Amino acid sequence: MASNLPENVIVVGAGLAGVALSRRLVQAGVPVTTLERRDAFANDGFAVNLPGNAIAALHQLGLGDQIAQIGRPTRRREYRDHHDRLVFEIDEDAFWGAEHRPRCIKRADLLAALLDDLPGDLIQMSRPVAEIGQTDTTVTARLETGEAISASLLVGADGVHSRTRAYAFPAAKAQSAVLSRASWRFLAPNPGIDAWTVWAGPSSIFLLIPVSDGEVYGWASVSGSAPAGETANGSALGPDIAAAFARFPKRVRDTLDYLVAHPGSVHWSPLEEVRIDTWTKGRVVLIGDAAHATAPVWAQGVALALEDANALADLLSAGGDGSTVGARFEAARRARVRHVQAMTDKMSRAARMPAVVRNLLMPVVGPKRYRQTYGPLRT
């Protein structure tokens, strides 16, 4: 069996996709070189909301028990308008079942779980890949230092502004999301919620999810506007965001007051998407955000990244050849990703409807969209 394994796999990028893939490859005995440009693991965005299919992917990574010990389970969702009226709710426990119960987890804790038990030197930090080239038999990553590393397959897990994608598909660029051009993520004291709770106003959305005792992970976006809050350090909340949520309920305003006083608890980032027709060029394949970054409407970024890692690792550990495995990976993953993109577009358009129309439609359409989105992802 070992002779069928690819000689070596280079993974570019040690975000959640790259670390998950490296984990699976090490466990399967596939030689892997993982190159990360930063000198420390990124903690952008503080925490992640993990729907049931992300939990299923973590079980496949052998981390079901560890994950159950960290973060907080999400048993219920409340969708509210900006007057605090409950528009509809979702029983997530009933939908996903106990084994795949959604969770909200701090990103650093998730990364630590993915790195658990792996060789300490597996991830090579401060090793930015500058150029990629390939022949019929090999692919080569050239580092900024000039050093060249060759393998039979190179996996671009290097995020939304992927260098690997720029090599393989130079015309493919990240685009602003339909939902909004930018958003804020933050950690804050729990202002009194006990479920995943979103408030949607005429042009702004505020989401809070319990992530630990007394603490919530939050996400806020203001659609259509210039990226308010885009300051020199890219994190502070500008006056526009305070105005956008001025008529929201007290729990939202209390949280905003906290964030204004604690700007270090806020991470601002553009909301960008990647939509490309193929993820493979010869011995190069893209996974995670590099292949299909999608606005976090259904919180599928990490789920899809982990599922990609599992799918590619399954193919490689079964002896997949570096020159053909990309096409097989793509055949296995394309329909699922396309489904998430289509449902993201539907919900993004709904979020931009006039609030009066949206609030009339959502009690019926909201639960239906939830089932339509997540139903196919349960398998």
Ligand X SMILES: Cc1cc2nc3c(=O)[nH]c(=O)nc-3n(C[C@H](O)[C@H](O)[C@H](O)COP(=O)(O)OP(=O)(O)OC[C@H]3O[C@@H](n4cnc5c(N)ncnc54)[C@H](O)[C@@H]3O)c2cc1C
Binding interface with ligand X (CB under 6 A):
12-18, 35-38, 42, 45, 48-49, 128-129, 157-159, 163, 183, 185, 219, 269, 271, 288-290, 296, 299-303, 305
CA distance 316 to 328: 10
Name which of 301 and 320 has its Cβ closer to ligand X.
Answer: 301
CA angle 344, 270, 342 (to 5 degrees): 10
Task: Report the number of secondary-structure helices (H) and strands (E) in the chain.
Answer: 12, 21
Sheet holding 103-106, edge to edge: 47-50, 103-106, 72-73
Minimum CB–partner distance for residue 338 and ligand X (Å) = 16
By CB atoms closer than 10 A (0-12, 13-18, 19+), residue 34 is buried
Q: What 8-state DSSP symbol labels residue 54?
A: H
Minimum CB–partner distance for residue 295 and ligand X (Å) = 8
Name which of 325 and 340 has its Cβ closer to ligand X.
Answer: 340
Structure tokens at 311: 């799918």
Minimum CB–partner distance for residue 283 and ligand X (Å) = 17
Name which of 157 and 316 has its Cβ closer to ligand X.
Answer: 157
CA distance 145 to 129: 9
Minimum CB–partner distance for residue 183 and ligand X (Å) = 4
Minimum CB–partner distance for residue 147 and ligand X (Å) = 13
Q: Which residues of 294-329 are buried (b: 16+ CB within 10 A; e: fewer)?
A: bbbbbbbbbbbbbbbbbbbbebbbeebebbebbebb
Cβ–Cβ under 8 Å, residues 54 and 288:
no
Minimum CB–partner distance for residue 25 and ligand X (Å) = 15
> SS3 for 159?
coil
